[in-house]
Amino acid sequence: MDLEIEMHRACPSGKQPQQTKPPEALVRFCRHVRILIPAVVLSAPLFVSSVTTKSYAIPAFSRQYGTSCTTCHLDFPKLNDFGKAFKDSGFKFPKDDETFLKVPPVMLGAPAQKDAWPHSVWPGTIPGMPPIGLRYNNYFQYTGKAAAQFNSLAPIGTVPQFIPSTDFETGLFSIFTAGNFGGGISFWVDDDISVAGDNSAGGLGDAYLKFVDIGRLVKLPTDSMSLRVGQFELDLPFTQARSINISPYDIYSEANIGAFNAMVPLQQNVANQFTFATPAKGVELSGGHTYGGYHYSVAVIDQNTSGIGQSANTSPYVPSASASSSGGVGFASDSNTKDVYARLAYRFNLERDRESRRAVRAAGATGPRDHTSLDFGAFYYYGNAQQGVPGAYPDGTPRVLYAHEPFYRTAGDFSFNYRTFNLFGLYMFARDKNLLPVDSNGNLVPVQLLQPPPVSFITSVPAKFNGGFVEADYLALPWFMAIARWDGVNSSADRINGLALSTDTPFFGPFRSARNRFTPGLQFLIRPNVKISMEYQIRPLQSVVVVTNPTTGAQQAMNPFRVNTVVVATEFVY
Count of domains for the chain: 1
pLDDT score for 551? 85
Question: pLDDT value at position 58?
Answer: 63
Say whether pLDDT at 485 is over 90.
yes
Per-residue pLDDT at 236 exceeds 80: yes
Average pLDDT, the chain: 87
Element (H, E) at 522: strand 514-527
Nearest CA to 528 out of 493, 479, 477, 488 is that of 479
Burial of 267 (0-12, 13-18, 19+ CB in 10 A): buried
Read off the pLDDT of residues 172-192 as tens digits, 9 standing for 90 and up: 999 999 999 988 999 999 999
Answer yes or no: are the C-beta atoms of 249 and 240 closer than 8 Å: yes
- Residue 416's alpha-carbon distances to 216, 245, 328, 375, 424, in angstroms, are 32, 18, 47, 6, 6
Q: Which of 505, 504, 534 is nearest to 521 (CA)?
A: 534
Annotate 25-46 with DSSP letters as a single string.
Answer: HHHHHHHHHHHHS-S------E
Amino acid making up residue 234: L
**In which element (H, E) is residue 454 found?**
none
Model confidence pLDDT, tens digit, residues 325-383: 888 999 999 999 999 999 999 999 999 888 888 888 887 777 788 999 999 999 999 99
Comparing 43 with 199, the larger pLDDT belongs to 199
Q: Which tops the pLDDT comparison, 130 or 492? A: 492
Cβ-proximal residues to 257 (8 Å cutoff; 6+ apart), any chain:
270, 271, 272, 463, 493, 494, 497, 504, 505, 506
Torsion of CA 289, 134, 188, 375, to 10 degrees: -20
pLDDT band at 490 (very low <50, low <70, confident <90, very high): very high
pLDDT given at position 16:
38
Count of CA atoms in the C-beta half-sphere (13 A) of 251: 30
Give the pLDDT of residue 254: 97
Dump pLDDT digits (tens) for 375-434.
999 999 999 999 999 999 999 899 999 999 999 999 999 999 999 999 999 999 999 999
Lowest mean pLDDT among 178-187, 249-258, 265-274, 520-529: 265-274
The pLDDT value recorded for residue 39 is 34
What is the pTM assigned to this prediction? 0.87
Q: What angle do CA 106, 111, 117 make, to 5 degrees?
A: 120
pLDDT for 5 = 31
Judged against a pLDDT cut of 50, whether residue 20 lies above it is answered with no
Looking at residue 124, its amino acid is G
Q: Reply yes or no on whether the pLDDT at 31 is more than 50.
A: no
DSSP symbol at 21? S
**Confidence label for 510 from pLDDT (cuts 50, 70 and 90):** very high
Give the start-end residues of each E strand in 251-372.
256-257, 271-272, 280-288, 293-302, 338-349, 362-364, 367-369
Write the pLDDT tens digit of every residue in 145-172: 999 999 999 999 999 999 999 999 999 9
Q: Is the pLDDT of residue 274 over 60?
A: yes
What is the CATH classification number for the domain harbouring 372?
A: 2.40.160.10
CB 421 within 8 A of CB 407: no
- For helices 3-10 and 24-36, what crossing angle results, to 10°? 70
Which range, of 3-17, 83-97, 356-370, 415-429, averages the lowest pLDDT? 3-17
Q: 410 is in which domain, residue-wise?
A: 3-573
| The pLDDT value given to residue 57 | 53
- Looking at residue 202, what is its pLDDT? 85
Average pLDDT over residues 78-96: 90
pLDDT at 18 over 50: no
Taking the CB of residue 201, how many other CB atoms lie within 10 A of it?
A: 12
> Taking a C-beta distance cutoff of 8 angstroms, is the pair 308, 298 a contact?
no
Note the pLDDT tens digit of each residue in 307-331.
999 999 999 999 999 988 888 999 9
Residues of the chain above pLDDT 70, percent? 90
% of the chain with per-residue pLDDT over 90: 68
